[in-house]
Structure 1
Amino acid sequence: MTIGINTKAGTVAGHPNKKRTLVATGIGNAVEWYDWAVYATFAPFLAGALFNPADKTSAVLATLAIFAVGFLARPMGGLVFGLLGDRIGRKSTMTLAITLASLGSLLIAVAPGYDSVGAVASAILLAARLLQGLAHGGEMPASQTYLAEMAPKEKRGLWSTLIFTSGTAGVLFGTLLGAVMTATLTRADMQAWGWRVPFIIGAVLGLYALFMRSMLDESEVFSKVDQKTKRAPIWPQIVRNRKQALQVIGLTVGLTLAYYVWGVGATSHAITKLGMDAGEALRAGLVGNIVFIIALFFWGKLSDRIGRKKVLFTGAVGAAVLHFPMTWLLKDQPWQLVVTMSVMLIFVAANASILPAVYAELFPTTIRTVGMAVPYAVCVAIFGGTAPYLQAWLGSLNLAIAFNMYAVAMLLTSAVFAFTIPETVGKDLNEQVA
């Protein structure tokens, strides 16, 4: 994935190192998100192949429970990879993260079936998902930090849009692959061997990302820090920057909840709860996510001109104000899903586009990765990972309004936190050493 971004010396296309930075960072991030998408898409086939087929309901629930385990592993991955990122470097940490993610995909792809090894098959799946959860917990903070440090300071907002752009592209690719395979293969073929194909593809793409990342240069910002400073105890630095960690949670909570509701869960909600045709809902979701990607570039570029705080506040308040109207509009028609997803994701994109840059601009170089990694991962696991479940559960109790009020409250919380941070647009990251 390449982006034509102007620098003082010309375009990215004219500077191989800049182009390589964007491609290697983007494809690695896309592979991580792709892994999560294909697991969710092919979960029914995983259940049939790797769990006891005698109890299909329990098999599906166990498969989804292992999906949730991946979320629970993210905070630990954020801690481990965050510490590594601030000790040994951003490049090495990104490379290790994509290696673990690829290994996880490969383990799933070659896992023996339940019919041949029994519960060992389920254990292999669990181990693979733990690896991928750890990897994803480390991938996001490492790649966000690296990208922010490599970007020209006057274009950092625009460059940071690559994180959610590449991630969304990975999700779309995984979802479309699932749609194509289920349409062209019989259910018997899908159950027998077809479900392995997307995980083989994930492992191969991961190897390509690994190759690309191995050729990257270490961030100059990190390289300038002397070894003695890098080896200094990290915990006292974290304590000194505890306010920034709280700000990460406050800024993220509204974004992650709204993104998982409107960007991830809206399509399945329309199919399972509103009775929308699955094919039409998937096409509507595709349109909504394309709008999201376009909006990311708009907000990222705008933030480099008018500042981060105005964009963050506008996105959070806009999403909060429109959440109830869009919820009321969404019924059982595909056009309604297109409109509601597009409108909400336009405002969600305001935060998603630039938060990777904001996180980096809040912390000093020596704890920039771990400082944002742990609070971010905890916030996503608690508020993002539970959002679709809470929405479905409260809806089943006829308490949908309670969930919607909760979503609005979290968005307004993020809007308030936008006022607590300093304006960081154009900040020189070389000046930030704890």
Structure 2
Amino acid sequence: MNQSQPKIIVLDDDPTGSQTVHSCLLLLRWDVETLKQGLLDDVPILFILSNTRAMTPTQAAEITQEVCHNLKIAIAQTNIKDFLVVSRSDSTLRGHYPIETDVISSELGDFDAHFLTPAFFEGGRITIDSIHYLLIDGVKTPVAETEFARDSVFSYNHSYLPDYVAEKTQGRITAPEVVRFTLKDIRGGQIDDQLLQLTGNQCVVVDGESQADFDLFAQAVLTATGKGKRFLFRSAASLLTSLAQLGQQPTAPEKMSSYKPTDKPGVVLVGSHVQKTTQQLERLLEEEEVVGIKVDVVRLRDRPAAKDIILQETLDTVKKVFEAGKTPVVYTSRQELSFTDIQQRLEFGEQVSALLMDVVEGLPKSIAFLISKGGITSNDVLSVGLNLTSARLLGQILPGCSVIRTEPTHAQFPNLPVVLFPGNVGNRDGLVSAWSRLRFS
């Protein structure tokens, strides 16, 4: 690690925030020794996968506090002086804000500012004049007008970020109090002095229309950090590219089949329910070389005791498809279920995830790859299904879709490439493209 460059510590609320970088460590445990391993790694950025987006607000606060408590100890013991902290979350503004940034500030303390930087260019999310947009078929759509703003857990009403901040902080931070860094400010080099004047954990929202905008912003941030300023970010993934400055990944996306440990088929696991995932799944199931295996979650909801039966039926079908030389695509039924409250919805999500992780643990040992579709699903695949403590990121197989590989010593799946495919990333052919690059050498 370049000693003049601060360590970039990312607390990621699902495992997909590393989708624009490569070569770094993803930590799935946060005991002090594991954190020290990440802090001392040569690569200037590390990710701590807390998976808090899948949790209740109380759980999210408790986990974030635990991570930060241990992080404070690990930073002291490794004598890391300069660091930036990133609370990485969803580019469509879903997540536990301001809970997580509040806890981080409380535990690690004395930040001069926290920045909201939700632009994610690989996924078609941009911020202009402090309004956050999704590009849908090339059309700029204010994010509050999309399905993501109606999320049953993380709903919101505003695309103009100062209003979003006021809404989420319930007026603790008012819209006029929020500092705005516009494209004109960033491109005109006007933010350098403003950064030095920030104090008292001031909230700042930042425009971004292209990676070049974030490159300019990141350079100004790194300069200010070198002058003693302490900053916290609530960010999507694209800013991390500009902060880490890692260059090209070692193996090109179209060459990633070289990571396969066998020539047999792989497995695709689909948990995400957003519309884009469903479209990609439907497209993948059109391929002759794949066979869809539906896990009926309504059956699980209505008869929780049937879990073991559903599991065995699923694994028997996976084995049959795999032995026929085709790719099993295990996916949850697509209909949106209704629940009496958020707590019940989250608890049922945990039941579904537990079933899917039992499926992962029961997969044939000679699979060539695993594609995990959905952020929460991917986190559980790494931490539960594969029982990893940490993983090294290889890079991206598609824009926004990371690939890690298990260690050669992994008990069940040594050297297995695993694709972490966010639910809301990629075009209709995205899942087919990732599968094709791994399936066909």
Higher relative contact order (CA 8 A, sep 6+): 1
* TM band (smaller chain): under 0.3
**Structure (1 or 2) with the greater helix fraction:** 1
Give me the TM-score of the superposition, normalised by structure 2.
0.27
